[in-house]
Amino acid sequence: MQLTLEQVRKQFQECGLKFTSQRYAIYRALAGSKEHPSVEDLYSTVKKAHPTLSMNTVYNTLESLQAIGIASEISLWHDKARFDANQAPHHHLVCLRCKKIEDLYDDTLDSLALSPKAKQRYRIIGHRIEFHGYCSDCKAKINKHKKRR
């Protein structure tokens, strides 16, 4: 669910952060993507409409979006950080070959519980599970390559 301009502005104001049109454009590009974009991806996308945009603004905005709870960083198994504006409970499927990340909704994963011993050591506020493997495109390429040998 993508937040409206006013909802994002309100989140920024409530946290005492400066709100700008560039910051909103970065949020919209992130929230409108199913690709879990990198900083560079967001920069390329938003720069078209905001030619004065700097990479520093993208980094700072992503930091702010995380601080106000409307974006999160996904960086496991990747050479660079990727970001997600989808804050609904979900998990990820990660392709080890092309680095594609897909959202995975599964109620059985949402209901996982820790052992009482683990609960004593941590105050758990959430969890995210990542499955690592090969997407259908990469799986087909791997299988095609194996058949040639």
Q: What is the CATH number of the domain that holds 2?
A: 1.10.10.10
User: One digit per residue, pLDDT tens: the chain, 149 residues?
Assistant: 799 999 999 999 999 999 999 999 999 999 999 889 999 999 999 999 999 999 999 999 999 999 999 999 987 656 788 999 998 889 999 898 888 899 999 999 988 888 888 888 988 877 888 899 999 999 988 887 777 76
pLDDT of residue 5: 94
3 and 51 part of one domain: yes
pLDDT of residue 149: 63
Rounded to whole angstroms, what are the CA distances from 13 to 16, 22, 25? Answer: 5, 16, 17
Distance, CA of 26 to CA of 105 (rounded, Å): 25
Q: Which structural domain, as residue segments, surrounds residue 17? A: 1-87
Domain boundary among 87, 102, 133: 87
27 and 60 part of one domain: yes
Rounded to whole angstroms, what are the CA distances from 76 to 15, 17, 124? Answer: 28, 28, 19
18 and 74 part of one domain: yes
What is the count of structural domains for the chain? Answer: 2
Q: Which of 12, 130, 139, 135 is CA-nearest to residue 70?
A: 12
pLDDT of residue 145: 73
Domain boundary among 87, 116, 139: 87
Domain boundary among 43, 67, 87: 87
Residue 71: Cβ within 10 Å count? 21
pLDDT of residue 141: 85
pTM for the predicted model, two decimal places: 0.77
78 and 108 part of one domain: no
Rounded to whole angstroms, what are the CA distances from 61 to 23, 65, 80, 82, 83? Answer: 6, 6, 17, 14, 12
